[in-house]
Structure 1
Amino acid sequence: FNLYNDNQIPLVHGWGVKSDVPAISLERALEIYQKKEAVFIDSRKSAFYEQRHIKGADNLPLLFFDLQFPLFQFMLTERQVGKDKPIIVYGGSFSRRFDYELAHLLKEKEYSRVMVLAGNPEAWQKKFPVAEQPGKTPAAMPLGIPGYLEWIPVGIFLLILIPPVRRSPYLSAFCRVLLGVIFIQFALSKIMRPAVFALNVVDYALMPAWGVNLWALVLPWAELVVGLFLILGIRTRAAATIIGGMNIIFIVGLVNAIFLNLPINCGCVGEVGEPVNWWKVLKNTGMLLMTVQIFLYDRLFVLDRGGFIWRERTI
């Protein structure tokens, strides 16, 4: 799926890789914390760190390790912290163990006493003193043409209330083309940068670690294929069903992120995206209704199994 570019990821992250980084229990880590005998490092993105972190811990995001490590090293030198002082890393999640990966990188930099917090990735929030502040809404980054097209499904709500329009095969043809263009645009950006999309999936904290890369590699190609099928009129009901299922998954992820107050963008187009909010949920709900309309009433300009002949299909 992703051999043609430098932004490659394995099918299953960390599969078969054994960790040589020791884990430390929460109780023992708390004792060390109270005695100030170790440096605590948060491996998450800065937005998550700013929202909630162990009081006094430093932030060294795994994603920007190469960029921020020189500053981190300078900071430790200023504090007169040697490479033999214990470093305890935390910040792993249900979807990916950022803590173990960061610990490995620090060991490669000759920090000899690196450990990670054991147990549930979120347990530190109940054991340690926590510094927190209200989550900040990430800055919106423009999605380009697909971002504008996403607003059209919101208007479909009103059209579906009108029975003659709701049953119109011409509306189905319009919905097919619109959804096809949106999903193809989103798919291409993800296909070109699978590693970036995988990290966006991690932000939602809903996917188990073994499924993140599989989802990041398979979903964009599925979006591309079903988008093409909708535009070309091939198996449109099946394509609409698949896109409808995708939108249900997207809506669940968005609502979960809203209730958890996660400081993330939607991640629809690689590095860019809109803030996760109820407007985004409304857009995806509109697209879900469009797939239902296509499934029930689409019968114009359909390519049948008999060949690439434009013909009308009856319900």
Structure 2
Amino acid sequence: MKQIVIITTGGTIAMVESTEGNGVKPQDPAALQSVLPLLTPYAQTRMEHILNLPSPHITPQEMYLIAQKVTECLAQIDTDGVVITHGTDTLEETAFFLDLVIQSDKPVVVTGAMRSHNELGADGPYNLVNAVRVAAHDQAKGLGTLVVFNDEIHTARQVTKTHTSNVATFQSPALGPIGHLSKKDIRFYRQEVVREKALPLVNPTATVALIKAAAGMDDSMIQWAIKQNYDGIVIEALGQGNLPPAMLPGIRQSLKQNIPIVLVSRCFNGSVQDIYAYVGGGKQLKEMGVIFASDLSGQKARIKLMLSLELNLPISLLKERFEKLI
């Protein structure tokens, strides 16, 4: 049987709902050990607890620690894959971080839960079983980091949390899941996935601001980021990559000070393009030197920019990493 390591980091899957009405809180992560007998038909597993944090407490530094542990486990000859349990609020960011820095072709699967361990209809044990099933599947090799939730398999690049409480929260709006699970089998619908050139596994120290554009906004948030000595800025632009004209002075100032600006769309479908030639349009922004991040979400572009800045690349090469997926 395949040997799968389960790394726990906390999240709702490792929480309980208080019977006194005091909310959902973390519990002993070892409670997930109770799920291990359910995994025996699919793989030999061992569980390692490295964090017990709600996912809003996860920072890029914790992502680095998780990635280090995953890399260490995958380097062991007798390990065939790794499953990580994680809170759902920032799960997609950790999954994408892992997808960028893990160089092994062995399966890496992230899962979690929308309902706490003792809640009626808890989905954590079920998702964990399915994550192990996928990690032990031969077709999961070479697909990068995957997210398994609610009988679906998603790529880390495409997946996003779409609902605050529904167990079907994780979706890939542009392309859909790459596979499904049933009680009897696992079906992968495509093996071709977008994989980027791996970035070095480093503890990211770069600070990157994430700014969402809206009607009538000015450049005050951009100017604030410049004054705070941020190393980079990601802007969620309107539509295909357009901004209110009042944001342009801050963009010019940022670029003049060699602070890269990466542009994504606030839409969750489609990609940014230099189409519109009016003031603040994508064509003007690209000519100014703004980096277009294709179909990435703002939160994922921020993770990629943090890691990319550690390479100390000139703007031209940094631009290529975002626009040509190299």
Q: TM-score, normalised by structure 1?
A: 0.24
- Structure with higher Rg: it is 1
Higher helix share: 1
Higher strand share: 2
